[in-house]
Homo-oligomer: A and B are copies of this chain.
Amino acid sequence: MKDVEVVNIKSVELESPIMIEGLPGVGHVGKLVGEYLISELGAEKILEIYSPHFPPQIIVKADGDIQMVRNEIYAYRSDDIELLILVGDHQSNTNEGHYLLTEAFLDIAQSYNVKRIYTIGGYGIGQLVEKPRVIGAANRVELVDEMKSYGVEFSESEPGGGIIGVSGLMLGIGKRRGIDAVCLMGVTSGYLVDPRSAQSVLKILTKILGLKIDMGALEERGKEMETIVARLREMEQLQAEVEPEFAPEAPLDYIR
């Protein structure tokens, strides 16, 4: 049994596509962006990736049919742009699996002559987000200024603790292979599936790619969430009035 198995679904000719990784993670920001792009662009599935490092689980679909936990790569081609979009239900469940799968994704990227990768994630700050922000990281310092010009924020302290999972390793192992890669992270509470945050990332990503995407459906989901957030905020406030939280003065960076 192989650690990673790649199944060919459809052959496609591409010159040098851009790869976008939208696997699940904090706030499901990556997954929301990846799946929204696929649906709006009508991208076609070309590859399925299976691994015993995924959770030992199947997904039951709405019609009662099932599918293995797997990752998938979709292709989109227009006159202006070529894309490979990586999505899935789960990331690896084992430490080594994250490395093995990332290596496999980069093998695929290189076989399609990918020169640039965007990985999408969420950056959880542990509290409700007032103003949507997108923070970034890049595997070549020259990419930082390029990203700043699109409104991506880079700060010394964010993301503290680094970037976990495929969204991070694609940059790290990509760097060792000489492939440019940028991680775009929507700032999010970390408690909720966050379509608002996904939308803020998608706005910047489409600007970078020069793509036009209808944001209507995502906007809709974002509004639903804002109603919920408003309610949570009320509850928080109510609670804050009852029992004021303890605010330590000592810089928490020192506390491990």
Q: Given A164-B55, A254-B225, A65 and B96 touching (CB < 8 A)? A: no
Report the Cα distance A53→B99, complex, angstroms. 9
Note all chain B residues with C-beta closer than 8 A to A57: 162-165, 168-169
Report the Cα distance A159→B27, complex, angstroms. 22
The answer to whether the Cβ of A67 comes within 8 Å of any Cβ in the partner chain is yes
Q: List 26 A-B contacts (CB under 8 A).
A: A27-B256, A50-B176, A52-B100, A53-B95, A56-B169, A57-B162, A57-B165, A57-B168, A58-B168, A59-B162, A60-B159, A60-B162, A62-B156, A64-B137, A64-B138, A64-B141, A64-B147, A65-B140, A66-B139, A66-B172, A66-B175, A69-B172, A191-B255, A192-B254, A192-B256, A193-B254
Contact with B along A84-128 (1 / 0, CB 8 A): 000000001111101110110000000000000000000000000
Q: Given A68-B176, A93-B95, A95-B93, A58 and B137 touching (CB < 8 A)? A: yes
Interface residues of A in 214-236 (CB under 8 A from B): 224-225, 228, 231-232
Copies in the complex: 4
The answer to whether the Cβ of A30 comes within 8 Å of any Cβ in the partner chain is no
Report the Cα distance A166→B58, complex, angstroms. 10
Main secondary structure of the interface of A (DSSP, over half): mixed
Q: Given A53-B95, A173-B68, A228 and B254 touching (CB < 8 A)? A: yes
Residue from the list B27, B165, B176, B254 in contact with A56, Cβ < 8 A: B165
Contact A144 B64 (CB under 8 A): yes
| A171 CB, min distance to chain B CBs, angstroms | 5
| A180 CB, min distance to chain B CBs, angstroms | 12
Contact B256 A164 (CB under 8 A): no
| A98 CB, min distance to chain B CBs, angstroms | 3
Contact A68 B175 (CB under 8 A): yes
The answer to whether the Cβ of A1 comes within 8 Å of any Cβ in the partner chain is yes
Contact A64 B154 (CB under 8 A): yes
Note all chain B residues with C-beta closer than 8 A to A93: 95
Report the Cα distance A59→B249, complex, angstroms. 27
Residue from the list B28, B53, B66, B232 in contact with A163, Cβ < 8 A: B66
Note all chain B residues with C-beta closer than 8 A to A144: 63-65
| A107 CB, min distance to chain B CBs, angstroms | 11
Q: Which 6 A-B pairs have the closest CB atoms?
A: A56-B98, A52-B99, A68-B172, A64-B154, A58-B168, A64-B144
Note all chain B residues with C-beta closer than 8 A to A251: 228
